Amino acid sequence: MTGATLPLIGQRSLMTELKAFQAALTEAEKAFKRSEVPIGAVIVKDGKIIARAFNSTEKKKSFLAHAELIAIQKACKKLGTKYLQNCHLYISLEPCQMCRTAAQLSRISSVHYLLKSKKFGKSGIAYHPLKIKKSRSVLSEQSRHLLSSFFESRRKPKTIEG
């Protein structure tokens, strides 16, 4: 199908979506063969798969080794940027909160998944209750100053010496 124009749905084609989901399922099968939770993810840009990954949490002994996070890291490396505008993430299962947030922060344009996750999806029931508290430490002001200084220096116009 080289050179052929694919039918479009918005910016994506039906064929691109089908190929992306097939690739995500292939990645999920790799995870299954390695006794990992069988979840696969691919990232598509301009109709081409630029990154693919599968869950590796057991092998890496880390909950950070989700297929989506690994795919995002690979895509960022390939494109040489931390932002993935005009990229689309395809996953075999609805992303957890961590992976959804990573997709948002990396500015992925859209996320598509095949199955809803009752345990860890958007309305997941299996999340550990976590208490997050703002400290009233005397070091708070030092932290505020450090962050403010960093972003202030980033926003100053660059001067050309000559």
d(CA 129, CA 127): 6
Question: Residue 15 has which token pair?
Answer: 């064929």
Q: Is residue 97 within 8 Å of 69, Cβ to Cβ? A: no
Active-site position among 27, 29, 58, 68: 68
Q: Is residue 55 within 8 Å of 65, Cβ to Cβ? A: yes
17 is catalytic: no
- How far, rounded to the nearest angstrom, does the alpha carbon of residue 46 sit from its chain's CA centroid? 17
The neighbouring-strand residues paired with 49 are 44
Q: Is residue 69 within 8 Å of 51, Cβ to Cβ? A: no
Q: Is residue 26 within 8 Å of 94, Cβ to Cβ? A: no
Question: Residue 154 has which token pair?
Answer: 């980033």
Which residues are annotated as catalytic?
68
